[in-house]
Amino acid sequence: MHQNTSESAMVSVIIPVYNVQMYLAECVDSVINQTYKNLEIILVDDGSIDESGKICDQYSEIDSRIHVIHKKNGGLSDARNVGLDYAVGEYIFFRRQ
């Protein structure tokens, strides 16, 4: 049986993270629980000063599809661009926290 390439293509989901500890789990869980499973999830911690970075690291320990980048604060566009540098998916999506 021939499998449609679009159904198996790697999808990169880039999530900029900055001081969103109260909302981060809900956001990441919503991506993890998608029915489409060929995902890489890139969490870009943009210099958070709350527990957001630690939460990102905890998620990466429980799901191998999650990659965390910690960087100095540079703003939303910078965080997205850093995520793009690491993304390997054929398709790329951005998710707000």
- What is the radius of gyration, based on Cα positions, of the chain? 13
pLDDT reported for residue 96: 63
Tokens of 25: 């789990």
Give pTM, 2 decimals: 0.90
pLDDT in tens, 68-95: 999 999 999 999 999 999 999 999 999 7
**Spatial distance between the Cα atoms of 1 and 78, rounded to a whole number of angstroms:** 43
Domain 5-94 CATH class label:
alpha beta
pLDDT reported for residue 95: 76
**Spatial distance between the Cα atoms of 37 and 47, rounded to a whole number of angstroms:** 29
**Spatial distance between the Cα atoms of 51 and 18, rounded to a whole number of angstroms:** 10
Q: Report which secondary-structure segment, H or E, holds 53.
A: helix 52-62
Q: Domain extents for the chain?
A: 5-94
